């Protein structure tokens, strides 16, 4: 067991609450909706850990089981993988005490081996795959391919936490620039990056002397990784959220998701936006006169009205719901859906946009906008 892993599970880091918030805010509505398909649900946590932190905080296995018990009781299986015996035994004990062991299994083994086996045996299950490795080991892109290229009739959702500092560490750009690098060692590190990220596109971001900041380099890698996840066309909806201690601080992880359903984009946008801003607001106002204010009190969506108008002009004749997908695809995590709907309403009341649905259907009982209303410019 690595010292890094031991330290990780000593107590939940304050910034890791962003990861938990995202996982919780997504799992509950996701499971509630996916069970309507009538297919069995398979939950996989390939780097599960002991289930709880030393301070008693719940880890991802308990979070996943609690959501599944609420909405999929009797119709789900959960697989939690650890390669460390101590974590494996502790997690098994916790699952038994919580009476989750009938549906949940603690597996001792290598995550990549398990993913290969499960990937080959997938049938009609709806799959939720959660990957939160301690670094980049045992998370090669090739093991994800069976989950990225399934029959479109079956659902797969993937959340991956990508460690940002290790991207720079393995790229070793500074060592290469100084000429102090061991060529054989560096090549080994670069091979790890290529296998994990699914290609060598990372080199332009992490090795080129292009004046970008470390965070800009990471973000470019994340964008490339999201494209790889959606390359097969099976999971076209992707997004990411930085996990960091302060708003301007170094990024610890990027939470990356991939889904085949547009509702995931909406859910994740709201979940990630709220999780990130709630944590940052707490960090920035704790112990001050403003600690009782919610993050939304400070969030300024005034530019969103102009953004809505520009998108209505660009994409004429889309429904309010479809236009929102266009906006969050380009502006992920900047605004929530409720802010968007208020902005649409404001633009409509100011007569800066129109709705052909409201204009062309006099028999419609209500004149209020809804997700199906078609939005058009008012030139």
Residues 74-90: pLDDT tens digits? 999 999 999 999 999 99
Residue 277, C-beta contacts closer than 8 angstroms, at least 6 positions apart? 295, 296, 299
Q: What is the pLDDT of residues 190-206, one digit of tens each?
A: 999 999 999 999 999 99
CB 167 within 8 A of CB 206: yes
pLDDT of residue 34: 96
With b meaning 16 or more CB within 10 Å and e meaning fewer, what string describes 60-85? bbbbbbebbbebbeeebbbbbbbbbe
- Residue ranges and CATH numbers for the domains of the chain are 3-284 (3.40.50.150), 295-377 (1.10.10)
What confidence tier does 57 reach under pLDDT thresholds 50, 70, 90? confident
Please name the helix (run of DSSP H) or strand (run of DSSP E) that holds residue 254, with its range, or none. strand 251-259
User: CB atoms < 10 A from the CB of 158, how many?
Assistant: 21
Q: What is the overall mean pLDDT for the chain?
A: 92
More confident residue, 9 or 72: 72
Taking residues 14-24, report their average pLDDT. 87
Q: Average pLDDT in the 6-27 region?
A: 76
Average pLDDT over residues 331-340: 96
Please tell me the predicted confidence (pLDDT) of residue 6: 47
Predicted local distance difference test score (pLDDT) of residue 12: 61
135 pLDDT band (50/70/90 cuts)?
confident
Given a cut of 60, is residue 183 above it in pLDDT? yes
Percent of the chain predicted with pLDDT > 70? 94
Q: How confident is the model at residue 7 (pLDDT cuts 50, 70, 90)?
A: very low
Give me the pLDDT at residue 361, please. Answer: 54
Q: How far is Cα 251 from Cα 160, in angstroms, rounded to an integer? A: 15
Q: Which of 55, 51, 54, 58 shows the shortest CA–CA distance to 82?
A: 51
């Amino acid at each position: 067991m690595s010292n890094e892993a031991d330290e990780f599970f000593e107590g939940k880091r304050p910034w890791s609450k962003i990861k938990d918030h995202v996982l919780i805010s997504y799992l509950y509505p996701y499971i509630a909706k996916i069970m309507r398909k009538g297919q069995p649900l398979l939950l996989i946590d390939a780097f599960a850990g002991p289930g709880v932190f030393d301070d008693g905080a719940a880890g991802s296995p308990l979070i996943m089981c609690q959501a599944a018990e609420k909405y999929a009781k009797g119709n789900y299986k959960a697989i939690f993988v650890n390669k460390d015996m101590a974590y494996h035994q502790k997690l098994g004990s916790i699952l038994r005490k919580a009476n989750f062991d009938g549906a949940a299994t603690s597996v001792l083994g290598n995550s990549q081996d398990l993913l290969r086996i499960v990937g080959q045996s997938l049938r009609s299950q709806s799959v939720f795959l959660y990957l939160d490795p301690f670094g980049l080991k045992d998370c090669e892109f090739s093991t994800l391919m069976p989950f990225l290229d399934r029959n479109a009739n079956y659902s797969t959702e993937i959340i991956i936490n990508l460690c940002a500092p290790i991207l720079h560490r393995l790229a070793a750009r500074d060592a290469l620039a100084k000429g102090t690098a061991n060529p054989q060692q560096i090549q080994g590190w670069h091979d790890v990056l290529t296998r994990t990220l699914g290609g060598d596109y990372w080199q332009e971001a992490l090795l080129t002397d292009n004046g970008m900041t470390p965070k800009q380099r990471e973000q470019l890698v994340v964008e490339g990784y999201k494209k790889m996840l959606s390359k097969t066309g099976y999971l076209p909806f992707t997004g990411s959220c930085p996990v960091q201690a302060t708003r301007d601080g170094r990024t610890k992880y990027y939470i990356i998701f991939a889904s085949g359903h547009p509702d995931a984009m909406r859910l994740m946008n709201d979940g990630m936006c709220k999780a990130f801003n709630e944590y940052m607001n707490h960090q920035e106002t704790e112990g001050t006169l403003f600690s009782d204010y919610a993050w939304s009190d400070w969030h300024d969506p005034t530019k969103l009205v102009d953004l809505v108008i520009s998108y209505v002009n660009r994409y004429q004749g889309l429904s309010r719901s479809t236009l929102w997908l266009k906006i969050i695809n380009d502006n992920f995590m900047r605004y929530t859906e409720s802010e968007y709907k208020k902005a649409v309403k404001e633009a409509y009341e100011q007569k800066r946009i129109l709705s052909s649905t409201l204009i062309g259907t006099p028999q419609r009982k209500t004149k209020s906008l809804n997700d199906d209303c078609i939005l058009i410019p008012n030139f």
